[in-house]
Amino acid sequence: MTFPDQKFASVAEYAGAYFDQTKAAAASVDAEKLAAALKCLDAAYERGGMVYVCGNGGSAAISNHLVCDHSKGGQTDTDLRPKVVSLSTNMEIITAIANDISYDDIFVYQLRTLAEDGDVLLTISSSGDSENIVRAAEWAKEKGLDIIAFTGFDGGRSAKLATVNLHVEGDNYGVVEDTHQSLMHILAQYIRLKRMDDGTIQERKF
C-alpha cells in the first residue's frame, strides 16, 4: 500500500496522516548506519578531504543546503574546516554536460574532473535509482571512494553501491525528502556539537 491511497476530508486530516508517515520514516533509520555515516564524514573533514554531494529535484535542493550547513555550520565555533561541493549547483556546467554529452553524466563528469583519493561521495535520491546518481556512485566505488547514499522506496541501485546506505522506509517523495533533510541537519549539527565546549553550546542557536 502506498501513501496516500485515498482522498482526505480536510487538509488538517491529511496533515495528521502525513506527519504519522514522517514519524514512521524517521523511526526506520538505522542508528548504526547513521553512526557509520557520521564516522565517514568526520574522517573526511578531519583529513581535509572533499565531500561531493548530488541529487535531482528536491534532492538537489537538499544537496545544496547540505553545503551550507556542513561547511559553514561545521566550522562555526569549532576548529574544523569542512570542504563540501554540491555537484547539483552549477547550472552552466550541468547544462553543458547534459546538452553535449548526456544528462546521465552530469554528476560523474564533474566527479571525474574534481575527485581525489580520500574524498567522499554523498548521493541523495528517493528512488535510489536515478541513472545520473548511479553512474556517479559506480565511478566512485571503482575508484575506492567511500559512498554515503540517502535512499527511500526500495533503495534502488545506489543502496547496493554505497559504503553506507542511510535508508528511509517510505514511498512518498515528500516524506522521504523531509527525512533526508532531517538526516542532513542531524549530521551537520552533531559534527559541530561534538567539537564545542559546553558553555558555548548553551549560548548558541542551532
CATH of the domain at 176: 3.40.50.10490
Q: Residue by residue, what is the 3-state secondary structure of the chain?
A: CCCCCCCCCCHHHHHHHHHHHHHHHHHCCCHHHHHHHHHHHHHHHHHCCEEEEEECCHHHHHHHHHHHHHHHHHHCCCCCCCEEEECCCCHHHHHHHHHHCCHHHHHHHHHHHHCCCCCEEEEEECCCCCHHHHHHHHHHHHCCCEEEEEECCCCHHHHHHCCEEEECCCCCHHHHHHHHHHHHHHHHHHHHHCCCCHHHHHHCCC
Look at residue 205 in the predicted model and tell me its pLDDT: 83
Domain tally, the chain: 1
Whether 47 is covered by a domain: the verdict is yes
Q: Which of 1, 38, 60 is nearest to 181 (CA)?
A: 60
117 is a domain residue: yes
Confidence (pLDDT) at 69: 97
Kindly report, residue by residue over 3-54, the tens digit of the pLDDT. Answer: 999 999 999 999 999 999 999 999 999 999 999 999 999 999 999 999 999 9
* Helix 173-193 / helix 58-67 crossing angle, nearest 10 deg: 10
User: Per the domain annotation, does 139 fall within a domain?
Assistant: yes
Can you say whether the dihedral through the CA atoms of 44, 49, 51, 52 is positive or negative? Answer: negative
What's the pLDDT at 203?
87
Residue 12 lies in a domain: no
Q: What is the pLDDT of residue 202?
A: 87
* Residue 15 placed within a domain: no
Q: Which positions of the chain have pLDDT values less than 50?
A: none
Give the span between the Cα atoms of 17 and 168, in whole angstroms.
17
Evaluate whether residue 95 is within a structural domain. Answer: yes
pLDDT given at position 198 = 87
Q: Is residue 91 part of a domain?
A: yes
* Cis peptide bond prior to 4, omega within 30° of 0: yes
What is the per-residue pLDDT for 179? 98
Q: What is the pLDDT of residue 31?
A: 98
pTM (2 d.p.)? 0.95
In a domain, 203, yes or no: no
Contact status, residue 132 vs residue 56, Cβ threshold 8 Å: yes
Residue range of the domain that includes 167: 30-196
